[in-house]
């Protein structure tokens, strides 16, 4: 029997740190990091909205930078430290951003929420004083069709103030 496309290429073995844990996976070299996270590793908190780098639903943190995981290959994760939405909350609690999103009603359908949380967390880690224009600029790569952004921006401001 001939092979399926995935069987016909040699899988690569990748070692990385994922949400604080040393992680190893095998992936066909053409799979995106998004596909690896969702399909291979079962981490479906990272969402796919467009698969072409234009919605930010798939945002993950790679070595401190935010990345659209649909635009990065899984194989490129080798040696990297990656955080997804599943790694944002400390054990048994919530990150101040998650708490603020709940309190400020910053989600309606919630599909964009993981991407916004991962992006906003990276911003506040770099710039604990980010103001509204800065937050708006930073989050401009994350589309939300439900909220009109108002409550998302307020939630990030609230978390910023609480993290001080």
CB of 98 to ligand FES, least distance (A): 14
Per partner kind, with CB cut-offs from 5 to 8 A, the member of ligand FES, another protein, none near residue 68 is: ligand FES
Q: Is 140 in the site for another protein (CB under 8 A)?
A: yes
CB of 53 to ligand FES, least distance (A): 5
C-beta separation of 26 from 12 below 8 A = yes
Quick one: which of 75, 104, 130, 159 contacts another protein (CB under 8 A)? 104
Q: Is 84 in the site for another protein (CB under 8 A)?
A: yes
Per partner kind, with CB cut-offs from 5 to 8 A, the member of ligand FES, another protein, none near residue 58 is: ligand FES
**Which residue in this structure is represented by tokens 């029997």?**
1
Per partner kind, with CB cut-offs from 5 to 8 A, the member of another protein, ligand FES, none near residue 26 is: none
Instruction: Give the integer Cα–Cα distance in Å for 101 and 142.
Output: 15
Taking the least distance from each CB to ligand FES, the nearer of 70 and 88 is 70
Quick one: which of 29, 79, 110, 128 contacts another protein (CB under 8 A)? 110
Sites of contact with another protein (CB under 8 A): 1-7, 28, 30, 35, 38-39, 42-52, 54-55, 57, 84-86, 88-89, 94, 98, 101-105, 107-114, 117, 135-137, 139-154
């Amino acid at each position: 029997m001939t092979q399926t496309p995935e069987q016909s290429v040699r899988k690569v073995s990748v070692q990385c740190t994922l949400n604080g844990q040393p992680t190893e996976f095998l992936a066909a070299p053409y799979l995106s990091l998004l596909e690896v996270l969702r399909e291979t590793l079962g981490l479906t908190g990272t969402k796919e909205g467009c698969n072409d780098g234009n919605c930010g639903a798939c945002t993950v943190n790679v070595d401190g930078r935010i990345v659209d995981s649909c635009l990065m290959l899984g194989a490129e994760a080798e040696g990297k430290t990656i955080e997804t939405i599943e790694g944002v909350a400390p054990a048994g609690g919530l990150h101040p951003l998650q708490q603020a999103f709940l309190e400020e009603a910053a989600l309606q359908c919630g599909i964009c929420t993981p991407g916004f949380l991962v992006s906003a967390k990276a911003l506040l880690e770099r710039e604990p004083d980010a103001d509204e224009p800065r937050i708006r600029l930073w989050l401009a790569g994350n589309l939300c069709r439900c909220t009109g952004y108002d409550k998302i921006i307020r939630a990030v401001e609230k978390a910023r103030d609480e993290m001080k």
